[in-house]
Amino acid sequence: MPAPAPDIIDLALAEDIGAGDITSKSFTLPGSQSRARIVAREPSCLSGTQVAEQIFHRIDSELKVQIHKPDGAALQTGDLVLSVEGSTASILTGERTALNFIQRLSGVATMARAFVEAVRGTGAVILDTRKTTPGLRLLEKAAVAHGGALNHRRGLHDMFMVKDNHLAAGLDLDTLQQMIAAARAAHPGLRVELEADTLAQVKSFFLLHGVDVILLDNMSLEDLRESVRLCPAHIQLEASGGVNLQTVRSIAETGVHFISVGAITHSAPSIDLALDFC
């Protein structure tokens, strides 16, 4: 898992603790020591344990944290995820921030796994999108990977993706071809993806050189199948739009290489995990 940006954890702690945890300072006995456990309260896919560990250690470096289940593990109700031992006040101070991260990230991982399982055996690969929580992209994309899906581009800097709004100015194919050639020359090794809204547009994009992927946006199953039938061997096809757990299997069975699902990150519900003292 990529190391979470320190400022994200610092920001989360600062917004929760502010000038200090006045309740824990006032309502715990001086020197009190405790042991607590984070447990799953519903079946899920785990993500965020290392973030939770860092949170407790930033609050109190003397806290002893043990991770009992690795990120990516399938959890059942009651499973022990993480235990923490040390200052009672420190554990209480870190409880909510640690849970906020691990619940959110486990929600993303769980939804990613649900989509992966839904297309199992078809050959289609589930991808995430850039529809992530601002500031949490690396963590959410790590959670997607924990769920078994693959990351699309991390940002605007690591892949060319020419979308409908880029094409809205009316670029003709000759001009688009020149731009693709210039882009590849300036950034060799980066993939080039074009978004298509119609089957006619897909066919025209097949004639271009230097295209790696064509995004088939909100197309019917019939048009997806026809795109697959006509697709040159050197180009891959990605379906997007109208994808949910009820539709994803039929989309995968058209033969597309990838299916991108924004809901994995923008609509994943948090998982119910709890911190209990023991």
Catalytic positions are: 96, 131, 163, 195, 217
DSSP annotation of 273: E
Q: How does 233-272 read in b/e, with b if 16+ C-beta sit within 10 Å?
A: eebbbbbbeebeeeebbebbbbbbbbbbbbbbbeebebbe
The Cα diameter of the chain in Å comes to 75
Q: Which of 194, 248, 258, 193 is nearest to 221 (CA)?
A: 248
Distance CA 273, CA 270 (A): 9
Q: In a 3-state reduction of DSSP, which class is residue 207?
A: coil
DSSP for 24-35 reads HHHSS-TT-EEE
> Torsion over CA of 183, 186, 187 and 189, rounded to 10 degrees?
90
Six-digit token string for 159: 């892949």
The residues, any chain, with a CB within 8 Å of residue 117's CB and separated by 6 or more, are none
Distance CA 127, CA 161 (A): 14
Helical axes 49-59 vs 88-118, angle rounded to 10°: 170
Distance between alpha carbon 234 and the CA centroid of its chain, in Å? 27
